[in-house]
């Protein structure tokens, strides 16, 4: 069974631009969560989607948004990029909203210059 895949793996953008990251969960998994990981802040929860609905949201500004499609694939968008948005963005999938084990993708390394 294929694992969680994320594209692109690496991305360089400039301040003010916007970016879209993609996550394909493990086949059959319906829940997708997004996290931002930085050396200073650790792993921080962005949002969770289940059956195309946002079920949970972390404490990030409105520039961060996401969506989930009917095939459970998810996208995350960051508008008006800031230098502080440079981070590793991880997505994790699980079977359902009551499943306790999450499987992480390899992440997208975003650098904002």
Question: C-beta of 30: minimal distance to other proteins in Å?
Answer: 14
Question: C-beta of 31: minimal distance to other proteins in Å?
Answer: 10
For other proteins, the binding residues (CB under 8 A) are 4, 33, 35, 41-45, 48, 55-56, 58, 90, 97-98, 100-107
Question: C-beta of 7: minimal distance to other proteins in Å?
Answer: 14
Between 81 and 90, CB nearer to other proteins: 90
Between 59 and 70, CB nearer to other proteins: 59
How distant is the alpha carbon of residue 23 from its chain centre? 7
- 3-state SS, the chain, equals CCCCEEECCEEEECCCCCEEEEEECCCCCCEEEEEEEECCCEEEEEEEEECCEEEEECCCCCCEEEEECCCCCEEEEECCCCHHHCEEEEEEEECCCCCCCCEECCCEEEEEC
Between 79 and 106, CB nearer to other proteins: 106
Question: C-beta of 70: minimal distance to other proteins in Å?
Answer: 22
């Amino acid at each position: 069974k294929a694992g969680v895949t994320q594209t692109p793996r690496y991305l360089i953008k400039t301040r003010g631009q916007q970016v879209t990251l993609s996550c394909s969960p493990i086949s059959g998994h319906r829940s997708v969560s997004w996290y931002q990981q930085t050396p200073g802040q650790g792993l921080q929860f962005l949002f969770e989607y289940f059956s195309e609905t946002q079920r949970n949201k972390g404490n990030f500004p409105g520039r961060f948004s996401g969506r989930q499609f009917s095939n459970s694939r998810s996208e995350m968008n960051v508008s008006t990029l800031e230098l502080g948005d440079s981070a590793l963005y991880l997505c994790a999938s699980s079977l359902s909203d009551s499943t306790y084990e999450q499987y992480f993708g390899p992440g997208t390394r975003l650098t904002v210059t």
